[in-house]
Structure 1
Amino acid sequence: MFLQKYAAVIFFIFSFCIVGQLFAQDNLQDPIHKFNEKEFIVSLQKLKPKEFARLFARQYSQDSTKSKLSVAYIKNMMISSEDLETQFWGYNSLAKWERNKMNLEPSIAYLDSTYTIAKTLNNDDLIMSSLINKGVYYYDFGFYKKAMEYYLEVLKIAKKADNRARQLAVMQNIALLKLEVNDRKGAIKLLEESLKIVENEKTLNFNYIHVNIYIALSKANIGIENYEKAASYCYKGIELSEKFNDKGASVYFYNFLGEIANSNGNYEEANNYLDKAVEITKRDENTLIQLPLIKLNKAKMHYFQKNYNVAIEILLDIESREKLNGTDIIYLEEVYVLLAKSYKEINDTENSLKYYEKASEIYKENDKIQESLSAEIIKKYDLETLKEELDQSQEDSKRTKYVLYISAFLTIGIIVSLIFFYKNREKNNQRKFAEILKNLEREKNEIAEKINTTEPASIVIEVKEKAETNIAQEVKEVEILDETKERLLKKLQNFETKELFLSKNSSLNEVAKKLKTNTSYLSKLVNAHKGKSFTAYITDLRVNYAIRRLKEDKKFRSYTIDSIAREIGFNRSESFSRAFKNKTGLYPSYYVKNLDNQNVE
């Protein structure tokens, strides 16, 4: 027993010594692997200011220790330097640092300092760098008009200096602004022209611009629902951005692919792409500015899958973070609409109404921004471009005076033509608006007469089309027995009266099931008695309903166009706007605005 106790004590002492030795070795090895702050600061001092700014943006800001030391180095060494160019790149780095933290005001203040220094140095390249960064930062935070002003200023300097890289960068940014005012075709045209230049360039390095053009083209094609083309640009963009380690660009492309998968109903695929985007933002602080948009697509995915509470949680997180940052981001309208719809689905009426009202307020503000920006682009960019082309023609011509007169005449003529065009368009729009109201009143009286005489006719408001007569006689190929036909017509009348066409489940197959008939009979019946395809029939019913309800329901007019579209069965606001325009000649936003202006009740 004594020997056993003695052996146990010896074993304990031996073990303690071994552990102590291992611990001591760890302590000795730790300083070797520890990050050496002094060496890092010395390495910063060896870098040229521009190279430091590049590394700070791409590497140092991703590491909390390095970023802290780098910011201290900028404040203590760079911006206090006697060398103005060193000061410039110091302030430039601080501006990016604040922007990545979603602090617009201090980032712009730092860019003001870079601009002052660049002007003192009389360095066009540094001046353009300051101005284009201002434009980009204002764009990121939703201040599009300000962004446009800075882009145009850079474009003027770049053309004068024949700096093609800067010209392409600005053209791409202006294309993004065109997207924000729904001029998608104009944006795509501008971007495709830029892409051709970049792809044919052999001497200059346009990799950064090349990737950004892919970003803009992906976004533009998503806007016009050309998902296949958008996805192809995303794949090309991912390949190029990974080749040059541009993680910020990869975030855009994965987010876009998630949005495309959402729209196509491929939710598992959407989740995978969005998770990839989120993972990059975790590793690279420079990409955090994209996180709210990724979360918005995540929320949409959960909404479509009927996970309403999860969608609400994500959307509230987006809202709280934007409030914290004190920014007024244009996509908050979409956040509020989705919140309202999600609350509605879980029968929380109070919160649903609250967020519909918030969405309505932002919609009005965004509408003003888009209108002012649209006019700004026409007045400044399109006319400036035309004027410069005419000026160039003047310089190249031998008969300078003759070209000058022609240029001046054409410029004035185009400005007058634009003014005339907008006035004439407004006049035509007012005429169309008056015609809609007149037809509504006439149809209202006709409906009253039909009710009084109990005619079993379909009560459908038609805005642009004349009454269709003798259609049944003209379509001889319909072979449905009279009794069956009458029964189906009554069911179809009931379908219209109960406004069942407002359901999103109003495909030919779904409606045929509801009416207890087959798709062939129903399609032929609609073709014969309505004079249109089944899809056109449903679309017309929805648009007619919107025309009538918008006139009669002031609360309904306060909804966003997206909310109105989804309320009446459309999946996307673009589809509704296009159908409304085809039917009436006006966009729904114009119709709503004029109803409000005339205080129609």
Structure 2
Amino acid sequence: MIKTLNTNTILAESYYKLYLDRGIEKENYSIQFFANYYLGNIAYRNKRFDKAIHYGNNAITSAENIRNGNYMLSGLYLVAAAYQEKRDRKNSLHRYLRAQKIIEQYSLENYQIYNLVSIGQIRIRLDQTQKALASFQKALKLLEKSSKNSDANYNTKYLSIIQGLGVCYYKLGNYDEALKYNYQGLQYAEELNRIEYIIDFNLNIGETYIGKKKYSKALSYLNIAKADIIKLNKNNDPDLFTANLHIATCLYNQTEYAKARDLLEQNFQHIKTNPEVEKIQEAYALAIQCGEKLQDTNLQFKYTKVYNKIVDSLYQNDINAQEKLYDRDLESLEEKNKSLLSKNLLYAIGFLLTLVFAAIISFYTIKTKRKNKSLFEELQKGRIHENASKTINVQKNEFITDKKAKSLLERLSNLEKTAFYLSSDCSLYSTAKDIETNTSYLSKIINEYKQQSFNDYINELRIKYCIERLSSNHTFRSYTIKAIAGELGYKSVNTFASAFKKQTGLSHSYFIKKVVSDTHESNKINT
């Protein structure tokens, strides 16, 4: 069947389904594992990722029944990969974290480094940069203990870890450390002639120099990366999209707006065949800014329309995932009862369950809309933030007996009036310096008296400011999401979106639409 799998997946799928039936009939979990695992593989190859997840989960269950750690990991990695393809990174991360427990439980050290690197890569995309950094650092320590000669995958592991460390330090704003690891990785990749890593390291170095605002230097590395991508004839590859985006960013910052626009236009032609590439939001946001600089209102409207559509589709993913989850549960239930119920009775139960699930989805949707509306009204009235602040302040004042802490909290309160938190360089270090204390003590008093981390404290101030500006300032509402995020001090649109959702319970796109809609209605009434 393995040979058939590589030559004729349709025939292989039918064989494995028969094999699965045999495993179920004989209650043989080993057969069930292999049948489900290879059916999941076939589904994954054919980009039927929901099916791959379904079969992968069944494979994991079979592996658990025979307590085989290697089989469990194979199933988990299949499911994690399928969720990655669906851009559902939280579910993918959940599988890798579960795999980590199995690795420890069954002493499967061979998988440890791979698993840590995978966890780090997903955490980067979820903006959990500190945790990602810890994963890569742990992986590097483990790799340094192993023998280079005895591990056939040593070079790949090393390059992946170094690349991950470079990205983490870049995201944390430590550009010098990021460059150190990226140069180290580039040199090693060139020695091995690993072109795919050479491209990645050149792209990362270019992006880091953009962070340092050294655009000419950034362009030299980005152009090398782009030339290598074109040499490999990877015209629709996401790497080409990334290279063009970074080059366009450099051109924009060198006031060559028309060239930047043309390059982004090329990007948008490429992604018609691959709309799921990374940084698509950033590309459209930059295109809108090019339109503004070129005073081309048609271009601005065109790109704003697409940008808003992309943002809305990202927030629709949660509801879609819920619907697909119900579909998978129903399908699983049908399969388990196949041998017990007649076909007519099964259809009747399936129909009833479908109605129940449809009702649940409808209830969930209505409840979500009501909740969003209620949250929006509370935010508009300023109740959520005011009430939260009052509650925290009462608790704080009762416990402030330390004169030094009281003095520092007063200084911090005065500093808030300067809107220091809107600076993109705002950090625990800079804030501690502004109120003449050290980072450890500042972190301690924020944790103790404000009952939150420094990052949550800054996010709360930024989002409160954002809500006030969006509610009262028409010009601010017309900004692109990237521009709003930048005004608030965020270096990433995703970080802003995540912070807004966490602080308010609403997506930023929903809030802005409601403000615009309510303002429009109010103007009509006044007219």
Indicate the TM-score class for this superposition, using the shorter chain for normalisation: 0.5 to 0.7
Partner of 1:221 in structure 2?
169
Any conservation in 2 of the 1:135–1:147 contact (CA below 8 Å)?
Answer: yes
Letter in 2 for 1:294: A
Aligned residue pair count: 370
CA distance in 2, matches of 1:467, 1:94: 57
Post-superposition CA distance 1:529-548 (Å, at most 9, x none):
xxxxxxxxxxxxx9998665
Taking a change above 3 Å as real, the CA distance of residues 561 and 218 of structure 1, as seen in their structure-2 partners, is: farther
Give the match's secondary structure for 2:273.
helix
Q: Deviations over 1:137-180 (max 9, x none)?
A: 64366332342244245334433332224233222222233223
**1:144 maps onto 2:76 in alignment:** no
Change (3 A) 1:591 1:240: same
Distance 1:600 1:246, change over 3 A: same
- Take 1:591 and 1:118, find their aligned partners in 2: how far apart are those partners? 38
Q: Which whole-Å CA distance do the structure 2 matches of 1:165 and 1:107 have between them? A: 27
- 1:563: Cα distance to partner? 1.5
Shift of 1:225: 1.7
| Residue among 292, 298, 315 paired with 2:247 | 298
Q: What do the CA deviations read for 1:381-440 (whole angstroms, capped 9, x no partner)?
A: xxxxxxxxxxxxxxxxxxxxxxxxxxxxxxxxxxxxxxxxxxxxx99xx877238999xx
Q: Is the 8 A contact 1:145 1:372 kept in 2?
A: no
Distance in 1 (alpha carbons) for counterparts of 2:97 and 2:76? 10
- Which amino acid in the other structure matches residue 259 of structure 2? V
1:186 aligns with 2:118: no
Checking the alignment, whether the CA contact within 8 Å between 1:79 and 1:91 is kept in structure 2 is no
Residue equivalent to 1:167: 112
- What SS does structure 1 have at the residue aligned with 2:255? coil
**1:600 CA drift (Å):** 7.6
Q: 5 Å matches for 1:119-518?
A: 125=70, 128-129=73-74, 131-132=76-77, 135-136=80-81, 138-139=83-84, 142-202=87-147, 205=151, 206-284=154-232, 288-325=237-274, 327-329=275-277, 331-366=279-314, 433-434=385-386, 465=414
Q: What is the CA distance between 1:341 and its match in structure 2?
A: 0.5
Change (3 A) 1:174 1:466: closer
Residue in 1 that maps onto 2:473: 553
**Alpha-carbon distance between aligned partners in 2 of 1:297 and 1:432, rounded to the nearest angstrom:** 39
Whether contact under 8 Å (1:144, 1:177) holds in the other structure is yes
Letter in 2 for 1:142: R
Per-residue deviation, 1:234: 0.8
1: CA distance between counterparts of 2:233 and 2:62?
Answer: 33
What's the counterpart of residue 7 of structure 2? 75
List per-residue Cα deviations over 1:472-523 (Å, max 9, x = no partner): xxxxxxxxxxxxxxxxxxxxxxxxxxxxxx9x9xxxxxxxxxxxxxxxxxxx
The two structures, once aligned, show a CA RMSD in angstroms of 5.6
Q: Which residue of 2 aligns with 1:475?
A: none
Q: Name the aligned partner's letter for residue 7 of structure 2.
A: K
1:290 offset after TM fit, Å?
Answer: 2.3
Q: Specify whether residues 76 and 596 from structure 1 end up closer, same or farther in structure 2 by C-alpha distance, changes over 3 A only.
A: closer
The equivalent residue for 1:422 is none
Using structure 1 for the length normalisation, give the TM-score: 0.48
Task: Name the structure 2 match of 1:564.
Answer: 484
Q: In 2, distance between residues paired with 1:230 and 1:302? A: 23
* Residue identity matched to 2:185: G
CA distance in 1: counterparts of 2:61 and 2:229, whole angstroms: 35
Aligned residue for 2:47, secondary structure, equals: helix
Aligned counterpart, 2:408: none
Residue by residue, what CA displacement relative to the aligned partner does 1:28-72 show, whole Å, maximum 9, x if unpaired? xxxxxxxxxxxxxxxxxxxxx9xxxxxxxxxxxxxxxxxxxxx99
Rounded to whole Å, the distance in 1 between the matches of 2:513 and 2:386 is 14
Return the structure number with greater relative CO, CA threshold 8 A, min gap 6.
1
Which ranges in structure 1 are unaligned for 5 or more consecutive residues? Answer: 1-48, 50-70, 99-103, 374-425, 439-462, 469-501, 505-541
CA distance in 1, matches of 2:506, 2:477: 9
The within-5 A match list for 1:519-538 is none
Residue 295 of structure 2 aligns to a residue in which SS? coil
Q: CA deviation at 1:187?
A: 1.9
Q: SS in structure 1 opposite 2:271?
A: helix
Secondary structure at the residue paired with 1:356?
helix
Tell me: CA distance 1:158–1:261, structure 2 relative to 1, closer, same or farther (3 Å): same
Using the TM superposition, give the Cα deviation of residue 256 of structure 1 relative to its aligned residue in structure 2, in angstroms: 0.5
* 1:240 match: secondary structure: helix
Quick one: distance in 1 between partners of 2:59 and 2:105? 21
Is the 1:551–1:600 contact (alpha carbons within 8 Å) kept by the matching residues of 2?
no
Structure 2: distance between partners of 1:152 and 1:215: 21
Counterpart of 1:105 in 2: which secondary structure? coil
The Cα shift of 1:78 comes to 13
- Structure-2 change in CA distance of 1:283 and 1:80 (3 Å): farther
Change (3 A) 1:135 1:590: closer
Change (3 A) 1:545 1:89: closer
One-letter amino acid matched to 1:198: L
Residue 216 of structure 1 and its aligned partner are, at CA, apart by 1.8
Q: Which residue is equivalent to 2:453?
A: none
Higher mean C-alpha deviation, range 292-301 or range 204-213: 204-213
Q: What is the CA–CA distance in structure 2 between the aligned matches of 1:89 and 1:237, rounded to whole Å?
A: 35
| Distance 1:282-1:125 versus aligned 2 partners, 3 A rule | farther
CA separation of 1:257 and 1:153: change in aligned 2, threshold 3 A = same
How far does residue 192 in structure 1 lie from its aligned partner after superposition? 1.7
CA distance in 2, matches of 1:77, 1:365: 32
Task: Give runs of ≥4 in structure 1 deviating > 4 Å.
Answer: 76-96, 106-127, 283-287, 364-373, 435-438, 542-548, 557-561, 568-571, 585-601
CA contact (8 A) 1:79 1:87 kept: no
